[in-house]
Amino acid sequence: QIQLVQSGPELKKPGESVKISCKASGYTFTDYAMHWVKQAPGKGLKWMGWINTYTGKPTYADDFKGRFVFSLEASASTANLQISNLKNEDTATYFCARWAGKDWYFDFWGPGTMVTVSS
Amino acid sequence: DVVMTQTPPSLSVAIGQSVSISCKSSQSLVYSDGKTYLHWLLQSPGQSPKLLIYQVSNLGSGVPDRFSGTGSQKDFTLKISRVEAEDLGVYYCVQATHFPLTFGSGTKLEIK
C-alpha cells in the first residue's frame, strides 16, 4: 500500500537549520511529483512548492524562496525539505503530499513533521 | 494569488443532518484544458489532510457518497448528507488551476 513516512519532530533554535524527510513506499517514486505544505499551529494550510521527482527540479512559492530547499534521495524514494536560518515563524507542521499526476490533486499525504523554533 | 473564501468558518450539526460549505475564488478556476482544478480536503483532528473530492465533483477513493461537490467558474459547494460522527474536522477547498496553489481558510465542523 502507498505510504509517506515523515521524520520525527524537531526542536531548534533561531538561526539553526533543519532537514525533514518524506520516505515513499508502495509505488514508483519517480512517477509522481511531491509537494510540501506548511501548517502553523492552529492555522490553515499553505502551499510551499513542489519537486519533480523524475528530474529533481524544485519549484517554490514566493514566500518560500531563499531559505527553503527541496531535494531528493531518489535511490531511497525520499524527498527532503531543508530550512536554513530558522525563525520563530517557521514553527509549524510540514506535510509532504503526493501529486496525482494529470488530475492535479494531492492523493496521499504524509503524517506531518512538527518543527518548533524556540530560543 | 487566487484568494479562496470559505464560508462559514464553523458549523455545528447533529448526526443525520445535512450541511453545505461554500468556497468562492477570486478568479475563474477553469484551466485552458477545460478542466476545473478545485478540490476538497478533510483534516480530522490530529491527522493530516485527506482528499474528499477532486475536480469539483469527483469522489476520492474510498470516500462515501454522502459527500458531493458542485459548482463552476468561481463558486463551489461541498455538501455532506446525513452527517456522521467521523465527519468532524476542518474542511478545506484548494485550487490547483493557478500558480501558486491556494487553500481556503477552512470550515470547522463540530458535532452537536
Closest CB to B51: pick one of A46, A62, A106. A106
Quick check: A107 and B102 CB within 8 A? Answer: no
Contact of B40 with B103, CB cutoff 8 Å: no
DSSP-assigned beta bridge partners for residue B23: B6, B76
Tell whether the model's pLDDT for residue A70 goes beyond 90. yes
- Computed over every residue of chain A, the mean pLDDT equals 96
Write down the residue that cell numbers 492523493 correspond to: A107
Report the C-alpha gap between A6 and A8 in whole angstroms.
7
pLDDT at B23: 98
Q: How confident is the model at residue A37 (pLDDT cuts 50, 70, 90)?
A: very high
Q: Say if B98 is an interface residue toward chain A (CB within 8 Å).
A: no
Q: Say if A47 is an interface residue toward chain B (CB within 8 Å).
A: yes
3-class SS shares of chain A: helix, strand, coil, % to 5 = 15, 50, 40
Q: Give the nearest chain A residue to B31 (CA atoms).
A: A104
What φ, ψ does residue A76 adopt, rounded to 5°?
-105, 10
Quick check: B48 and A110 CB within 8 A? Answer: yes
Q: Say if A94 is an interface residue toward chain B (CB within 8 Å).
A: no
Tell whether the model's pLDDT for residue B22 goes beyond 90. yes
Quick check: A47 and B101 CB within 8 A? Answer: yes
Tell whether the model's pLDDT for residue A11 goes beyond 90. yes
Tell whether the model's pLDDT for residue A101 goes beyond 90. no
- Computed over every residue of chain B, the mean pLDDT equals 97
pLDDT at B34: 95
Report the C-alpha gap between A89 and B47 in whole angstroms.
22
Quick check: B92 and A44 CB within 8 A? Answer: yes
Write down the residue that cell numbers 521527482 correspond to: A53
Which of A4, A22, A39, A45 to probe the B interface (max B CBs under 10 A)? A45
Tell whether the model's pLDDT for residue A102 goes beyond 90. no
pLDDT at B48: 97
Closest CB to A109: pick one of B48, B101, B105. B48
